[in-house]
Amino acid sequence: MEWLQHLNRALNSHPAHVIEPGDRAHAAVALILEEQPDGPSILFIERSTNENDYWSGQIGLPGGRTESCDNSPRHTAERETREELGLDLSTAQYVGRLSDIAPGGLKIVVSCFAYAVNHHPVLYPDYNEIADAFWVPVREFNDPARRSHVKFLVRGRLRRFPALRLIDDKKQPLWGLTYRLLRNLHKVIHSTIDPDVCLYKE
Please list the rounded mean pLDDT of every run of 10 residues in the chain (202 residues). Answer: 77 87 95 87 89 74 94 97 96 93 89 92 92 90 85 76 82 87 81 47 44
* Beta pairing, strands 25-36 & 174-175: unpaired
* Alpha-carbon 156 to chain mean position: 28
Sign of the Cα pseudo-torsion (80, 166, 183, 119, in order): positive
From the candidate CATH numbers 3.30.365.10, 3.90.280.10, 3.90.79.10, 3.40.50.300, the one assigned to the domain spanning 2-141+175-196? 3.90.79.10
DSSP string, 89-135: GGGSEEEEEEEEE--TTS-EEEEEEEEEESS-------TTTEEEEEE
Q: What is the pLDDT of residue 81?
A: 98
pLDDT of residue 114: 95
Question: What's residue 13's pLDDT?
Answer: 82
pLDDT reported for residue 117: 93
d(CA 42, CA 31): 7
Q: What is the per-residue pLDDT for 144?
A: 87
Q: What is the pLDDT of residue 202?
A: 43
Say how far apart CA 131 and CA 7 lie, in whole Å: 29
Identity of the residue numbered 129: E
Smallest Cα–Cα separation from 176: which of 111, 112, 103?
Answer: 103
